[in-house]
Amino acid sequence: QVQLVESGGGLVQAGGSLRLSCTASGDTFRNYAMAWFRQAPGKEREFVATMRGTTTHYADSVKGRFTISRDNAKNTVYLQMNSLKPEDTAVYFCAAGPISSVIESRYDYWGQGTQVTVSS
């Protein structure tokens, strides 16, 4: 079992930056692939980024602007978001699973989400 808690969301102007954190407890953190997904109002949840070991993969919409990283000693995964756009506004969720995937059903554990709002 893994429990995930996100933090770091908030309100930011377009062009600004935020760093989200997701801290895990329970099982051995380093064994899991970690990912970020997001859900905008009225839309389905979508893949943002994933990381297993040192291998990362990003959605095209965030490539070059967002960076996923992890600190296994702190059981924490981060999402550094730069050059934010109003269309990045969403609830951001972290997820843990056995393999990296863009498919949300491949992840076994989810956090409660943190709101990111980007004003124009």
- Residue 47 tokens read as 């893949």
Who contacts 54 (Cβ-Cβ below 8 Å, separation ≥6)?
none
Q: In this predicted model, what pLDDT tens digit does every residue of 54-89 receive, in sequence order?
A: 999 999 999 999 999 999 999 999 999 999 999 999
pLDDT of residue 34: 97
pLDDT of residue 19: 98
User: Using CA atoms, how far apart are residues 96 and 93, in angstroms rounded to an integer?
Assistant: 10
Per-residue burial over 67-102, b if 16 or more Cβ lie within 10 Å, else e, is bbebeeeebbbbbebeebeeebbbbbbbbbbeebbe
Tell me which H or E stretch contains 23.
strand 18-26
Q: In this predicted model, what pLDDT tens digit does every residue of 87-115 receive, in sequence order?
A: 999 999 999 999 999 999 999 999 999 99
Residue 27 reports pLDDT greater than 90: no
How many angstroms separate the Cα of 90 from the Cα of each of 71, 79, 85? 24, 14, 11
pLDDT of residue 46: 98
Q: What does pLDDT average to over the chain?
A: 96
How sure is the predictor about 30, in pLDDT bands with cuts at 50, 70 and 90? confident
pLDDT of residue 111: 97
Q: Is there a contact between 100 and 46 (Cβ–Cβ < 8 Å)?
A: no
